[in-house]
């Protein structure tokens, strides 16, 4: 239940199901906890709550817990395959509620038919193991968005985190450039959230289709390495790209990040440790949501407004990171709440059409451009994974 009433305009907007959320991690709840994302459940996002909140398209991200990366050869790749398998199962189980959107045309028609346009994504190029063949394997099985790098540095791209070793390039290596070029040819959206600054600019230089930063905030408002500088926002806009403003506390407000950190040190939080890291994450997230001093949804709108001022109204969207963040601002507790943003943006003087752009039209435009005519995504069907349970090759 939203903390503030949505007015008539916001309710009408939500009924159009305009939301294109560029980043959510819900697949790991399906894989590790057996949650059916087609039914109302715990966590932040499922299709029922999404319907209530006006969700029309969603990037279902395969995020790889570091423990799988550290597990040795193929750790990240196999985990990604397992998570992608959950996406395939979801669309098989709930064809009335969600479908595979392999390109912008499919996404648009799914949304118009009342279903969620489901777009598989990969968070971190570790999953392709320095192989363009692996990249194609994932593409054929539906992946249309890849965050080039997560917080771990790769041999071909540096992330935004400190501590890169000498084997890590300053930005994007020659192989990294070939990844971006291949993604553009295939019709996969290049995602630069988590990328280091030099990697960010190197990628803009080589990309031939608009790129996104799927889940980031504005550094001018909150100085966090995961956020974008004003120069980055302007460069993204010049290239035709879009930033998806994230709902993650430490990126939105330093005080909120410190509050989370304080609570993580408490016995109550620590007592929720569990060998199942996804269950632990869910329980500890609920704990933070309950005990932390709340942060109002207005802070997300502050980041949106700043990004709009700097990059322009056509270059700002949403990337909630639902089920990948521990707690949410008040009023954005889950996928039923996107309308809160519509209401707050309208109150700040945005026109209905400008709110539509931020909620989804801008992301849809980039997705359509990157997967459009001339790319393989325009014609490629979905190659099925092995029947469940997924067995990795
Ligand atoms: Zn992320």
pLDDT in tens, 175-190: 999 999 999 999 999 9
pLDDT at 4: 78
Mean pLDDT of 101-106: 98
Ligand 1 centroid to residue 321 C-alpha, Å: 7
Residue 1 has pLDDT above 90, yes or no: no
**Domains of the chain, each with CATH number or no CATH:** 8-376 (3.20.20.140)
Q: Report the C-alpha gap between 1 and 263 in whole angstroms.
A: 25
Mean pLDDT of 153-170: 96
Mean pLDDT of 15-20: 97
Ligand 1 centroid to residue 193 C-alpha, Å: 7
Mean pLDDT of 226-230: 98
Ligand 1 centroid to residue 123 C-alpha, Å: 7
pLDDT at 385: 85
* Contact (Cβ atoms closer than 8 angstroms) between residue 111 and residue 99: no
Mean pLDDT of 352-357: 98
Ligand 1 centroid to residue 85 C-alpha, Å: 20
Residue 391 has pLDDT above 90, yes or no: no
Which residue is it, tokens 């553009």?
Answer: 184
pLDDT at 195: 98
Go through the chain and tell me how many residues it has.
Answer: 393
pLDDT at 392: 56
pLDDT at 58: 98
Ligand 1 centroid to residue 150 C-alpha, Å: 6
Ligand 1 centroid to residue 248 C-alpha, Å: 10
Pick from 79, 220, 93: nearest CA to 138 = 79
Tokens of 171: 């930005």
Ligand 1 centroid to residue 289 C-alpha, Å: 19
Ligand 1 centroid to residue 35 C-alpha, Å: 21
Residue 389 has pLDDT above 70, yes or no: no
Tokens of 67: 């423990």
Ligand 1 centroid to residue 9 C-alpha, Å: 32
Ligand 1 centroid to residue 112 C-alpha, Å: 29
Residue 388 has pLDDT above 60, yes or no: no
pLDDT at 13: 97
Ligand 1 centroid to residue 252 C-alpha, Å: 14
Residue 48 has pLDDT above 90, yes or no: yes
Q: Report the C-alpha gap between 222 and 298 in whole angstroms.
A: 14
* Contact (Cβ atoms closer than 8 angstroms) between residue 26 and residue 60: yes
Q: Report the C-alpha gap between 156 and 177 in whole angstroms.
A: 9
Ligand 1 centroid to residue 241 C-alpha, Å: 18
> What percent of the chain lies above the pLDDT cut of 70?
97
Ligand 1 centroid to residue 64 C-alpha, Å: 10
Identify the weakest region by mean pLDDT among 69-73, 125-129, 191-195.
69-73
Per-residue pLDDT tens for 261-283? 999 999 999 999 999 999 999 99
Half-sphere exposure of 43 (CA within 13 A, CB side): 31
* Contact (Cβ atoms closer than 8 angstroms) between residue 118 and residue 101: yes
* Contact (Cβ atoms closer than 8 angstroms) between residue 217 and residue 246: yes
* Contact (Cβ atoms closer than 8 angstroms) between residue 368 and residue 103: yes
Return the sign of the alpha-carbon dihedral for residues 127, 181, 22, 196: positive
Ligand 1 centroid to residue 330 C-alpha, Å: 21
Ligand 1 centroid to residue 243 C-alpha, Å: 13
| Measured CA angle at 360 (ends 357, 364), to 5 deg | 105
Dihedral pair phi/psi, residue 3, rounded to 5°: -80, -15
Q: State the DSSP H helix or E strand holding residue 121, giving kind and residue range, or none if neither.
A: strand 116-123
Tokens of 173: 């290596």
Q: State the DSSP H helix or E strand holding residue 256, giving kind and residue range, or none if neither.
A: helix 254-264
Q: What is the mean pLDDT of the chain?
A: 96
**Residue 3 pLDDT grade (very low, low, confident, very high; cuts 50, 70, 90):** low
> What percent of the chain lies above the pLDDT cut of 90?
96
SS3 98: strand
Ligand 1 centroid to residue 294 C-alpha, Å: 22
pLDDT at 2: 45
**Quick one: 378 exposed, middle or buried, by C-beta within 10 A (0-12, 13-18, 19+)?**
middle
Residue 256 has pLDDT above 60, yes or no: yes
Calculate the alpha carbon distances from 325 to 56, 266, 320 in Å.
21, 19, 9
- Prediction pTM value: 0.97
Tokens of 209: 């289709």
């Amino acid at each position: 239940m939203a903390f503030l009433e949505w007015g008539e305009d916001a309710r009408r907007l939500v009924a159009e199901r305009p939301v294109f959320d560029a980043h959510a991690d819900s697949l790991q709840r399906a894989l590790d906890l057996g949650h059916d994302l087609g039914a109302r459940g715990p966590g932040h996002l499922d299709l029922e709550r999404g319907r209530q909140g006006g969700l029309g398209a969603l990037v279902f991200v395969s995020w790889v817990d570091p423990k799988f990366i550290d597990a040795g050869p193929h750790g990240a790749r196999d985990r990604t395959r397992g998570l992608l398998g959950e996406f395939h199962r979801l669309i098989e189980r709930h064809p009335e509620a969600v479908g595979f959107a392999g390109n912008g045309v499919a996404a648009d028609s799914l949304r118009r038919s009342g279903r969620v346009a489901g777009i598989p994504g990969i968070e971190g190029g570790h999953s392709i193991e320095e192989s363009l063949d692996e990249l194609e394997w994932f593409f054929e099985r539906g992946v249309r968005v890849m965050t080039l790098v997560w917080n771990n540095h790769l041999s071909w791209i540096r992330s935004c985190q400190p501590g890169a070793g000498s084997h890590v390039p300053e930005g994007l290596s020659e192989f990294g450039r070939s990844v971006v070029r291949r993604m553009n040819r295939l019709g996969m959206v290049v995602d630069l959230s988590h990328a280091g600054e030099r990697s960010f600019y190197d990628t803009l230089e080589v990309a031939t289709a608009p790129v996104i930063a799927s889940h980031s905030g504005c550094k001018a408002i909150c100085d966090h390495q995961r956020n974008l500088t004003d120069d980055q926002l302007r460069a993204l806009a010049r290239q035709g790209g879009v930033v998806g403003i994230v709902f993650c506390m430490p990126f939105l407000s330093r005080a909120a990040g410190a509050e989370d950190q304080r609570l993580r040190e408490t016995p109550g939080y620590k007592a929720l440790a569990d060998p199942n890291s996804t269950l632990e994450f869910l329980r500890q997230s609920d704990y933070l949501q309950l005990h932390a001093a709340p942060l109002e949804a207005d802070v997300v709108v502050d980041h949106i407004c700043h990004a709009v001022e700097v990059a322009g109204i056509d270059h700002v969207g949403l990337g909630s990171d639902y089920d990948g963040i521990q707690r949410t601002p008040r009023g954005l507790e889950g996928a039923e709440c996107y309308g809160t943003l519509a209401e707050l943006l309208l109150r700040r003087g945005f026109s209905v059409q400008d709110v539509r752009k931020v909620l989804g039209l801008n992301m849809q435009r980039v997705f359509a451009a990157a997967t459009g005519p001339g790319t393989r995504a325009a014609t490629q069907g979905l190659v099925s994974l092995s029947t469940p349970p997924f067995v990795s090759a």
